[in-house]
Structure 1
Amino acid sequence: MIQHVKSGLRGLMYTLAVDSSRFFGSVALTRDGQPLMGISFNVKATYSEKLLQMISFLLDESQVELKNLGLIAVVEGPGSFTGLRIGMTLSKSLAYAMDIPLCGVNALEALAQTYAFGDGCYAPLFDARKGQVFAALYEMRSRSLSELIPPGSYHPERFFREAQKKGGRALFLGEGETFRETIESVFSRKETYISSHTHIDPFAVARLGMRLFEERGGDDLLTKEPAYYRASDAEINYEKNHPSS
């Protein structure tokens, strides 16, 4: 087991945030929780070609050496299977090589944290395909975000009905437009606002990573994996072609 135990954030200077969960990636650097520099980029090539290059550029421009990082916060999912795998593998490799603690951050919580500026309920949504939605429900009160429905892959109508019971009015973030018809069949117009914001602020990823590290320490690098929330197409096809006897 390779795990950094809880030790608080005293002396922690620099946090590297990494998000490769979608086709619009980002990396960022904070110092004592304060933003230093962030880079967002379209992934025209694959993350395997782009991500390390962006991290190196970020550190060079910030004049910070990799060995001086105190924490790596990486988006663990849900999102693109390939993007998540590359981001997690690279982040774990850097953490292992330089003995840096690592914390996985949920993409849905990071999206909610990015746009939750006032009290109320926030429901980040991503289209999971195959008739499912990646979703969660959070409530912001006194600048603190609490979880009402945990992140997961849900049947859309069931999730929205549960969200209506739990929170009533809600701001839908991410790919809510994809589910507008279903949302409006459950919520009244006065209860909903559907936003098209899908970009996760990498500084929100850094803040969440710092909070998690303070609460429970770093993740075990040997067992940490992306949080896919459902089987990949390859796994589904394999199971279909190789049924258990």
Structure 2
Amino acid sequence: MYVLGIEAATPVAGVAVVEDGRILAEHLVNNRRTHSVNLLPMIKAVIEEAGINPGDVNGVAVSSGPGSFTGLRIGMTTAKTLAWIWQIPVIGVSTLEALALPLGARDQIVCPILNARKNEVYANIFRGQSGRPENLSGPLAIGIPELVQRLEKWPEKITFMGDAVPIYQEEIKKLMGDRAEFSPQSTQLPRGAAVAELGYLELVSGGGIKPLELKADYIRLSEAEVKLAAKCGK
């Protein structure tokens, strides 16, 4: 079974093909170019490098949020269009679970954080275990002090990863001391392979939906929606 994974919920664009859980090909770029420029050439490349044809793909997994509103729309529109053309199911994958997956086999608390702006992060609290991480709390749009307070429920060390780490690392250290650990740079960026792997696990367990049924998990309203709600509330 071949699954194409697409990650576009953050400034990073990632694409991969997995076969029965084995990574066949993967591309990742963090060059700040728009995902609408990067994704289609990357998808074409990984399919060719995997040695398969588009008709061999059994499902398309895509990062469905939280993350950048623009990035999510580009990634999901691309995934839904391909799934519709190829007449195969699409699988929405949590951006935060995809981040946590590489450390999932370690029996510890992991907390992926993404920059949500407005002094908040998108966060999720997982416990690592074999297979998929166990979701303990989230996803959340939350400030760092509130997140640290929530993490007090688990007295052990907490490993953070994600693009918000460079922004909030010093604040987290100040609030948590040596309870806070930070994953290596190689695990800080979301990967198309993790999205594809989670999509594969979902597909073999009977998951997958029609393209038009897929919805993004934005967590909070966009700026335009906030302004519209305020206007309508007057």
TM-score (norm 1): 0.85
Q: Superposition RMSD on alpha carbons, in Å?
A: 2.0
Q: In the alignment, which residue of structure 1 is the partner of 2:120?
A: 132
Is 2:221 aligned against 1:231? Answer: yes
Question: 1:58 pairs with 46, 70, 84, which one?
Answer: 46
- Structure 2 unaligned spans of 5+: none
Using the TM superposition, give the Cα deviation of residue 199 of structure 1 relative to its aligned residue in structure 2, in angstroms: 1.1
Correspondences of 1:17-166 after superposition (within 5 Å): 17-142=5-130, 144-166=132-154
TM-score (norm 2): 0.89
Letter in 2 for 1:221: P
Using the TM superposition, give the Cα deviation of residue 114 of structure 1 relative to its aligned residue in structure 2, in angstroms: 2.1
Q: In the alignment, which residue of structure 2 is the partner of 1:9?
A: none
Is 2:217 aligned against 1:217? Answer: no
Alignment size in residue pairs: 231
- Report if the CA contact (8 A) 2:63-2:195 is conserved: yes
**Distance in 2 of aligned mates of 1:95 and 1:142:** 29
Using the TM superposition, give the Cα deviation of residue 125 of structure 1 relative to its aligned residue in structure 2, in angstroms: 0.6
Using the TM superposition, give the Cα deviation of residue 147 of structure 1 relative to its aligned residue in structure 2, in angstroms: 1.1
Using the TM superposition, give the Cα deviation of residue 81 of structure 1 relative to its aligned residue in structure 2, in angstroms: 1.0
- Report if the CA contact (8 A) 1:114-1:201 is conserved: no
Percent identity, aligned pairs only?
A: 31
**Alpha carbons of structure 1 residues 45 and 63: separation in structure 2 relative to 1, 3 Å:** same
Correspondences of 1:193-204 after superposition (within 5 Å): 193-195=181-183, 196=185, 197-204=187-194
Structure 1 runs (4+) greater than 6 angstroms displaced = none
Is 2:197 aligned against 1:207? Answer: yes
Q: Deviations over 1:193-223 (max 9, x none)?
A: 1335421232221111112223342134223
**Distance in 2 of aligned mates of 1:110 and 1:226:** 15
Q: SS of the counterpart of 1:35? A: strand
Using the TM superposition, give the Cα deviation of residue 46 of structure 1 relative to its aligned residue in structure 2, in angstroms: 2.0
Q: SS of the counterpart of 1:222? A: helix
